[in-house]
Amino acid sequence: MMSILGVMVGYNPGDLATDWASTVVLHAQQPEAVDEFVPIDELPPQDQLPAAPLLVVAYAFVVLALFAYLVSVARRLGAVQRDLERLQAELKRSGRT
């Protein structure tokens, strides 16, 4: 519920960081408060996330998603193709009535 309020309340064309009560709601949802863009090398070392896992997961996801869709289309196409052939064979047998 609070996240829904976060949507409603945090959506603002004004200054994101200094918006009134919504910052409380936003901060409550996020792992670390971000008031402005902080370049990553200026963060203390313990706050720095390793980038490699994120990168690998991202690329792996892209490949998997595209592949999964390809397989889905191929399977559906194969099923329809089989039905078509079966129906056409039946029609031929019954002499195209």
Asked if 95 interacts with another protein (CB under 8 A), we say no
Question: In 3-state terms, what secondary structure has residue 35?
Answer: coil
Q: Are 22 and 12 in contact (CB under 8 A)?
A: yes
Structure tokens given for 34? 């971000």
In the complex, what is the shortest distance from the CB of residue 45 to another protein, in angstroms, rounded to a whole number? 14
* Residue linked to tokens 């994101």: 16
**Binding of another protein at residue 28 (CB under 8 A)?**
no
Contact residues: another protein, CB under 8 A: 1-2, 4-16, 20-22, 24, 26, 30-32, 34, 37-41, 49, 51-52, 54-55, 57-59, 61-62, 65-66, 69-70, 73-74, 76-77, 80-81, 83-84, 87-88, 90-91
